[in-house]
Amino acid sequence: MQRIARLSAHLNPTNPQMEESAILERVNCRAKGGAPGFKVAILGAAGGIGQPLAMLMKMNPLVSVLHLYDVVNSPGVTADISHMDTGAVVRGFLGQQQLEAALTGMDVVVIPAGVPRKPGMTRDDLFNINAGIVKTLCEGISKCCPNAIVNLISNPVNSTVPIAAEVFKKAGIYDPKRLLGVTMLDVVRANTFVAEVLGLDPREVDVPVVGGHAGVTILPLLSQVKPPCSFTPEETEYLTKRIQDGGTEVVQAKAGAGSATLSMAYAAVKFADACLRGLRGDAGVVECAFVASQVTELPFFATKVRLGRTGAEEVYQLGPLNEYERAGLENAKRELAISIQKGVSFMKK
């Protein structure tokens, strides 16, 4: 009887003691061990990306524990997701005072916290708000799970990844292999749009997208599409532009109600799953990500990386580029250099 009473306390959605209620649940449940797997935290779990991302992560058989952290509404999202009859144990955490509990012991931390764009804004316009959010969350990671693999989604990714790197350096825990800016949505879009033009199933298409995650810094390498194919100059122009402007296409269609959330949650889970398979020791896990890099003269750059037990274990070279892509690369590098420097300077202030 007492067990039921204590479990009911946990089920009260207005209960702000999320962490405590999760402990009550564990104490009172018969099965305490949980399935083998990885511990994943989502920071910003109650947001437009965070909610579907939490749902999809709860469906991932590689996840044994899922921590959902936000500064608002995480109790409701946690109660909802926790009823799904999949293996992962879900715990909710609300507000800054529960950040450390949310992060302690995590293997992977996915960060979609921060404000999204409205029509007319660039991703860089989000810098002033999101830079501080990312800084605070990465300070928490430095303290509570310094060995975690970090998947950073918050925009502008071209600047937030350098900010995270500086936070980790300051804390003395920086390992470039473990910090990954998520550019997977660019690849997902590129696969979709290229498949449309070629009349193929998008699941059969693989388009490397390199550079960064904003406008001209998003550089699809259409000369390296698999299966091998060729495009007319008009198709190349159309596809490159559509992939670069994919985010803006969604922002405009949503007309003030935010940016891509559902396709982003899909892309984030696809990428996090690749990181988890790498952590498990699977061979040949390769995806594009924005990482510390020596591929160009810039300190960060998105290319294909091989994901392993310690994160991005190998950063691949660009491969042969055609003239159109070489010109695109120069444009991308010019803009990227400014965005990276902006992130670094924010932390030096």
Ligand X SMILES: O=C([O-])CC(=O)C(=O)O
Residue closer to ligand X by CB (options 82, 155) is 155
67 in active site: no
Of these partners, ligand NAI, ligand X, none, which one is at the site of residue 250 (CB under 5 to 8 Å by kind)? ligand X
Cβ atoms of 82 and 45 within 8 Å: the answer is no
Give the orientation angle of helix 50-58 with respect to helix 74-82, to 10 degrees: 30
CA distances from 76 to 59, 73, 92, 151, 320 (A): 18, 6, 9, 24, 50
Integer Cα distance of 168 and 176 in angstroms: 9
Integer Cα distance of 290 and 108 in angstroms: 16
Of these partners, ligand NAI, ligand X, none, which one is at the site of residue 88 (CB under 5 to 8 Å by kind)? none
Q: Is 296 helix (H, G, I), strand (E, B) or coil?
A: coil
Residue closer to ligand X by CB (options 39, 213) is 213
Restricting to residues 253-282, which ones interact with ligand X according to CB under 6 A? 259-260
Residue closer to ligand X by CB (options 48, 92) is 48
Interface region with ligand X, contact rule CB under 6 A, candidates 26-34, 204-212, 240-248, 276-284:
240-248
Residue closer to ligand X by CB (options 140, 246) is 246
Residues that bind ligand NAI (CB under 6 A): 43-44, 46-50, 70-72, 112-117, 126, 130, 133, 136-137, 153-155, 157, 182, 185, 213, 258-261, 264
Integer Cα distance of 161 and 330 in angstroms: 21
Pairing state of beta strands 218-220 and 209-211? antiparallel
Does position 242 interact with ligand X (CB under 6 A)? The reply is no
Find the length of the chain: 349
Does position 185 interact with ligand X (CB under 6 A)? The reply is yes
44 is in an annotated binding site: yes
The footprint of ligand X (CB under 6 A) covers 116-117, 123, 155, 185, 246-248, 250-251, 259-260
